[in-house]
Amino acid sequence: MHLPRKLIQSKWAMSLSTIAKTSSPASARPRAAAETSSVPTTPAKHAAAASAAARRRRGRSGSHHPHFPPPALRTRRCLPAPRAVASLSGSQAHDALLLRRAADVADRSAGLTSPHPNFGCVIARPQLETDSVEAWVVGEGFLYAQGTPCAELLAAQEAGEHARGATAYLNLEPGDCYGDSTAVASLVQAGITRVVVGLRHPLKHLRGKAIQALRSEGIQVDVVGEDLQSKTFEEALKSCLIVNAPILYRAAFRVPFSVLKYAMTADGKIAASSGHASWVSGKSSRGRVFELRGRSDAVIVGGNTVRRDDPRLTARHVKGHVPVRIVMSQSLNLPEEANLWNVSDAYTIVATQRGARRDFQKKLAMKGVEVVEFDMLNPRDVMSYCYDRGYLSVLWECGGTLAASAISSSVIHKIYAFLAPKIIGGINAPTPVGELGMSQMTQAIDLIDVSYEQIGRDMLMSGYIQPIPDLSPVIPSIDEIPSVDPDVSPYETNIAHKFVGVNNSQARDLVQEIKQAKSPEEAARIGRTQQREFPELVRKDWESTKIDVMYKAIKCKFSTYPHLTKMLLSTAGSVLVEASPHDLFWGGGREGEGLNYLGRLLMQLRSEILGTVPASVEVGGTA
């Protein structure tokens, strides 16, 4: 049984996908308890606290994210809610504004949460002293990345005692799956009395469950389009749809949300007749492209782009997430040396036709590049492959030939076109989209929901080829309601262990930097980069202890999430292999030549749980 590698953001993070045959976009979050209060409050104190919270939010940057592991929570005794001074439910305009704010908050983690949606939560309560929505907000939070605290918990933590009797605004119904009901538990224990939901969860096995769980706890839940049907909510609903367009497209079409980006001159050329294209657009537009990459799980180019431009395709100048680079080439007629073959900062996958240049495939593998063969290389099959890897959003930065093929395959959902005020001319100069087989203008594809934005001297036009699917009206029957679990299980990172105990101030600082990382993915990247640049910082006994450290991390993860144990036991009798083609220690390698220690550890844990081996058995000697 081979295990998918994509969703293991870090082997040390040990995500659910390590033992799952296929990835699930459903959220799997650490379980934790929200704060409740033992401090009496008054309306005046509420107003003062809300104003202070608003000042704090205005003073911090939009890139503020929660660190992991989450801070220890203080346990407080619940007191009755103070007398209501106004009614949020009485003002649909305020509801719409606060729901739109929740969508904006959720958007801060775009590109980081894959395979989970973007969740945002805003907790608000009315104040006698002001009618300003900004002053009403007492707490907000968002899911920063896989393996970090959920939005509802973070918002409840920030609101503290002021959450009691307040309203929570959620851009998307929480995805409480596998018995992890942290989101619901956080709102219930914080004393929230009303929840406004922008969209029901797009995945059928989760849709409606969290809403039902909240209602079963006596909380009023209003869903836009069902309980709230005023036109006042049109813009708020649109914001909720846009921020989670990737998961909506993925759920509806079973492919990642795909965006085609190109820059062209005023006469419609993406390069000169010679192929030279540096630069069509201005610096500000190129900065926007870095942002688009940072919001994507993968960036796709064709072989021509690699040969002519030798791109890096990194999200440089944008801290945080780095997308996977994918090169599509049928013949593998690619250069021996290219920036994309440097995988120190970003992972590279080459998709090709089965059997193409096997010798070159081995050379790429030696550089750490993953080669994936397809029986017939085409955009649809590549997108299905990306879907199986759990990708939510893919950015296409290819030339006109591949762009036309992708559009014809109906895998492109949105267009970003940067128009530069230049004219280059040339009969043979390339254009953004090649032949689509259309002979009449009436056959042209009309973009939907088109918008325009001036970026420096350039104009950015964006629009959808296919409308965002709104799946919320389809509500399945609810067979079971997840229970509210108040347990606290902070996320523990083990990435820093390889630097622990080294008598070096730089190593000690590195340990703290890793512990303060914002997500498991970022922590792993810091560790890899520093180990490569400063190998002397790694503890001397790391090679002999890393298996034990990994096993302890696995046991901790499985004890934290009981559903993982159930899934592991379901594999009884099967051989588990970590399907990593390049990691020959933890993975199985391309052709089974790897040591597969991660698979061995999982099988040892399975045997230990089943009681067939003692807990002290070493895996080093197993076959």
Over residues 295-350, the pLDDT tens digits come to 899 999 999 999 988 998 987 655 667 899 999 999 999 999 999 999 987 899 99
pLDDT value at residue 218: 93
CATH for the stretch 540-615? 1.10.357.40
Query: Within its chain, how far is the Cα of 296 from the centroid?
Result: 9
- 125-168 pLDDT, tens digit each: 877 666 677 778 999 999 888 778 899 999 999 999 999 999 99
Poorest-confidence range of 316-320, 404-408, 445-449?
Answer: 316-320
Averaged pLDDT, 256-267: 95
* Range in 109-123, 346-360, 436-450, 602-616 with the lowest mean pLDDT: 602-616
Q: Enter the DSSP assignment of 124.
A: E
CATH of domain 254-435+445-464: 3.40.430.10
Per-residue pLDDT at 560: 66
- Of 53-67, 78-92, 203-217, which gets the smallest average pLDDT? 53-67
Please, which residues bridge with residue 170 across strands?
A: 121, 197
Least confident of 104-118, 308-322, 384-398: 308-322
% residues pLDDT > 70 (the chain): 74
With beta carbons less than 8 A apart as the criterion, state whether 476 and 207 touch.
yes
Cis geometry, peptide bond prior to residue 69 (ω within 30 degrees of 0): yes
Between the alpha carbon of residue 287 and those of residues 292, 442, 523, the distances in Å are 9, 35, 25
Per-residue model confidence (pLDDT) at position 519 = 66
Is the pLDDT at 68 greater than 70, yes or no?
no
Two structure tokens written together for 21: 């045959």
pTM of the model: 0.68
Cα of 154 vs its chain's centroid, Å: 17
For 388-424, give the secondary structure using H, E and C. HCCCCEEEECCCHHHHHHHHHCCCCCEEEEEECCCCC
Tell me the mean pLDDT in the region 267-278: 90
DSSP code, position 9: S
Q: Which of 457-466, 478-487, 600-609 has the lowest mean pLDDT?
A: 478-487
460 phi and psi angles, rounded to 5 deg: -100, 120
Mean pLDDT value across residues 190-202: 93
Percent of the chain with pLDDT over 90: 41
Residue-range domain boundaries for the chain: 90-247, 254-435+445-464, 486-539, 540-615
Please give the CATH architecture assigned to the domain spanning 90-247: 3-Layer(aba) Sandwich (3.40)
Common-topology check for domains 90-247 and 254-435+445-464: no
Catalytic residues: 152
Whether residue 17 contacts residue 401, with contact meaning beta carbons closer than 8 Å, is answered with: no
